Amino acid sequence: MRRWMSAALILVMIATVSVALAEETEKESKPDEKRAEIDARAKESLGELLGKNEKAKGLYDKAYGYAVFGNWKFAFGISGGGGSGVAVNKGTDKRTYMKMGTVGVGLGLGGKKYQVIFLFQDEKRFTGFVNKGWQADTSATAAAGTAAAEAGTGFVNGIAIYQITDSGLMAQADIAGTKYWKDDKLNEAE
């Protein structure tokens, strides 16, 4: 019985990942639509964060730029995921479309969709992220609701990171093993 349940679970996960990848592939074939979708998702997520978290709003007001990524992550002992997003220079509104991928090992089973929002304190941090990409090797602390965020969230090494799930702001933005890079197709097609 356990073998059947395990096999069924694996098949469901494979089917779910296949559907998600097929949707991404289909959307990538239409760059204008993909950019519009990413921009709309970024606007909605940023609005949700700033509307619920005064400390984040204060950091956003001081930030040189920001990036918002829509991610999905699946785990079955080994976790993996991917997503897309946009980095925005607040002064010029120049947008750079990016991708992300994540892999990890640990106890876990299931999947989740979430948004990660980066606020960059200065041009150097923002430009480095956009031009060189970024790889997170450890977990990053994000805001944990209004009370915790007011207590101690700020720029750490020039970056503040927030994660939003369906249940709201999360205490930990688990971005370990995650890499961010430019999406050449979406940036050249503009």
Whether the CB-CB separation of 40 and 86 falls below 8 Å is answered with no
pLDDT of residue 174: 52
Specify the pLDDT at position 55. Answer: 92
Q: Is the pLDDT of residue 76 over 50?
A: yes
Q: What's the pLDDT at 177?
A: 72
Least confident residue range of 50-59, 127-136, 148-157, 169-178? 169-178
CA distance 126 to 123: 5
Contacts of 138 (CB under 8 A, 6+ apart): 176
The per-residue pLDDT for 2 is 57
* pLDDT at position 45 over 60: yes
Q: Are 41 and 83 in contact (CB under 8 A)?
A: no
In this prediction, residue 71 carries a pLDDT of 87
Give the residue-averaged pLDDT of 12-28. 48
Residues 49, 61 contacting (CB under 8 angstroms): no
Q: Is the pLDDT of residue 65 over 50?
A: yes
Residue 30: pLDDT band (50, 70, 90) is: confident
pLDDT at 190: 57
Asked whether the beta carbons of 109 and 12 are under 8 A apart, the reply is: no
Smallest CA-to-CA distance from 102 within 13, 21, 176, 184 is with 176
User: Rounded mean pLDDT of 136-162?
Assistant: 58
pLDDT-based confidence at 129, cuts 50/70/90?
Answer: very high
**Residue 146, pLDDT score:** 39
Contact indicator for 118, 161 with CB cutoff of 8 Å: yes
pLDDT for 168: 57
What residue spans define the domains of the chain?
31-188
More reliable by pLDDT, 141 or 17: 17
Average pLDDT over residues 99-118: 78
Which residue has better confidence, 150 or 182? 182
pLDDT at 3 over 80: no
